[in-house]
Amino acid sequence: MNTSGNRLLAGAVAIVAGVFALTWLTSLTFTLRFDVYLLASLVLSIDMLDLLLRLHLRRAQATQMPGPSIPLAAAPASGLGVQIPLRPYALVFAVHDLEGEVDLFVEQMAPYRDRIWIIDDCSTDRTSLRLRAAGWRCLRTERNCKKPAALKRLLEQLPAEIHTVMVLDPDTMIRSSADGTPDDLDTCIREFQASGAAALCPRVRLRPDGLLVSLQQLEYAFSFCLGRKCLADLSITAGVAIYRRDALEKALATHSLSVYAEDLENTLLLLGGGERIYYDDRLSVQTEGKRTFASWFSQRVGWWFGFLKVYVERQREVWMLARRSPMAFYHFVVYMAGLALAASPLKAASLILLLVSLLNGCDQLLGTALIPDTPLTSPLLFAVVYVKYLLLTCVAVVLVVPARERAGMLAVAPLYFFYALIHLAPMLVGFANWLCLRAFGRRLYADHYDAAPRLNGLRHAA
């Protein structure tokens, strides 16, 4: 985090601590109604119960840390001790208007050049010309069809002998593994090929770049080091993933080819068809986070819109997958449909209660008496829930995040509660976009994935 980010963080923490301490001192006469407290602490309760369950599942796995989420042979080899041959693989990219970043892309990906295949998704600049002039393999589409459709086209052009593909974004870079040793991409892919799984999800990390990106780093750490790690061979792919080529081709054959939640749709198609996906944090990639609140909000609106869109359209695959194991039922039905979708109105009510409680604490501190003192506005609601969520976040960081990353993430832990609450806003807007598009053919908010906000139907949304 840069100097200005450190100052902002220190100031924010000081303000939060001061408001909390003074709020507590000026509200000792208030009592909490149990039903009001339960509603106000809904986000805390959901996150705490989910954390405990996933920690138990991750601990029960017979895997190393760091390492894959399923047991794999340490060194796939034949009975004679000869290493199993590495089958051909390719690193594939779908790019659009990359001319300004071509030099950086070429520099970062130079070590993998012989394995890279690129498709230019109808750029309006000289992306394909510059890449071809530099000697890189680059196809080009005649119209902008977005990442899934572009990749489908690229797979059709790859040599038949290529068994495995690693899908990457142009702003990603393969980095060192979680324990500090250099990544051995060949070893990870050789083990993946020997496993017979359909896909492998690496860990995705963000390049440090200010306070907002630091909060996203903590969110990503929870999502990958715990969320995907605990799912064993029922994990979820990210925008960057390794696929068995025939499995990806089969998924894209029935894919909606929408850019919205395209990785979740791949996951449901593969797992719903009986395939396996595992997570391996020995292989990690680094990408850019969202530096501004506006770009972050737009991205998250698109994510939640895509989540609801894919979940509704792929209900058949969800139910086929849910029957595979109790954990599959919990994650893909209880967690996704219940805790993420059905509970969203209650989460919104929880956000309102906590906001009013915080404002009443400030009101008490300033002595303005603008907010009436009732059980629904008690300053203790915010104070108690905040402290408990902060403790939960710190415990989760210590138990989940690799040791060398903990200090930086503990530094932003005091603000993560606010980040989690603010995240409810783009979630609700994304859900509202889906409902309005279904009912009225247009969205409330045009996220950055959406080139044409006014549409005639959901299937043409992306």
Separation CA 293–CA 288 (nearest Å): 14
Residue 139, judged by CB atoms within 10 A of its CB (0-12, 13-18, 19+), counts as middle
Separation CA 457–CA 369 (nearest Å): 50
Separation CA 319–CA 171 (nearest Å): 35
Query: Cα–chain-centroid distance for residue 31?
Result: 39
- The pLDDT score that the predictor gives to residue 447 is 87
Classify strands 199-206 and 241-244 as parallel, antiparallel or unpaired: antiparallel
Exposure class string for 332-360: b at 16+ Cβ within 10 A, else e: bebbbeebbbeebeebeebbebbebbbeb
Separation CA 404–CA 386 (nearest Å): 26
- Provide CB contacts within 8 A for 224, sequence distance 6+: 201, 203, 204, 238, 279, 281
Greatest CA separation for the chain:
81
- Provide CB contacts within 8 A for 319, sequence distance 6+: 333
- Provide CB contacts within 8 A for 272, sequence distance 6+: 314, 316, 317, 318, 320, 321
Per-residue model confidence as pLDDT tens digits over 66-90: 788 888 865 444 444 456 789 999 9
Which of the residues in the chain have pLDDT under 70? 1-32, 34, 61-65, 73-83, 176-183, 450-462
Where do the structural domains in the chain lie, given as residue ranges? 3-49+343-422, 65-290
Rounded (5°) CA angle 371-375-381: 90
- The pLDDT score that the predictor gives to residue 456 is 33
DSSP category for residue 462: -
- The pLDDT score that the predictor gives to residue 179 is 44
Architecture of the domain made up of 65-290: Alpha-Beta Complex (3.90)
* Coil vs helix vs strand at 287: strand
- Provide CB contacts within 8 A for 236, sequence distance 6+: 201, 227, 228, 263, 264, 267, 277
Helix axes 146-157, 245-254, angle to 10 degrees: 130
Residue 169, judged by CB atoms within 10 A of its CB (0-12, 13-18, 19+), counts as middle
- The pLDDT score that the predictor gives to residue 279 is 95
Residues in the chain, how many? 462
CB atoms within 10 A of CB 421: 18
- The pLDDT score that the predictor gives to residue 223 is 94
- The pLDDT score that the predictor gives to residue 1 is 53
Place of tokens 């306070």: 211
- The pLDDT score that the predictor gives to residue 297 is 96
Exposure class string for 384-414: b at 16+ Cβ within 10 A, else e: bbbeebbebbbebbeebbbeebbeebbbbbb
Instruction: Please provide the DSSP assignment of 374-415 as one string.
Output: -TTT-HHHHHHHHHHHHHHHHHHHHHHS-GGGHHHHHHHHHH
Per-residue model confidence as pLDDT tens digits over 362-407: 887 777 878 887 878 888 888 888 888 898 899 999 999 988 899 9
Supply φ then ψ for residue 74, to 5 degrees.
Answer: -60, -35
- The pLDDT score that the predictor gives to residue 62 is 56
* Coil vs helix vs strand at 458: helix
Alpha-carbon separation of residue 6 from 9, 13, 249, 342, 412 (angstroms): 5, 10, 46, 38, 10
* Coil vs helix vs strand at 20: helix
- The pLDDT score that the predictor gives to residue 299 is 94
Structure tokens at 241: 């993933």
Per-residue model confidence as pLDDT tens digits over 253-290: 999 999 999 999 999 999 999 999 999 988 999 999 99
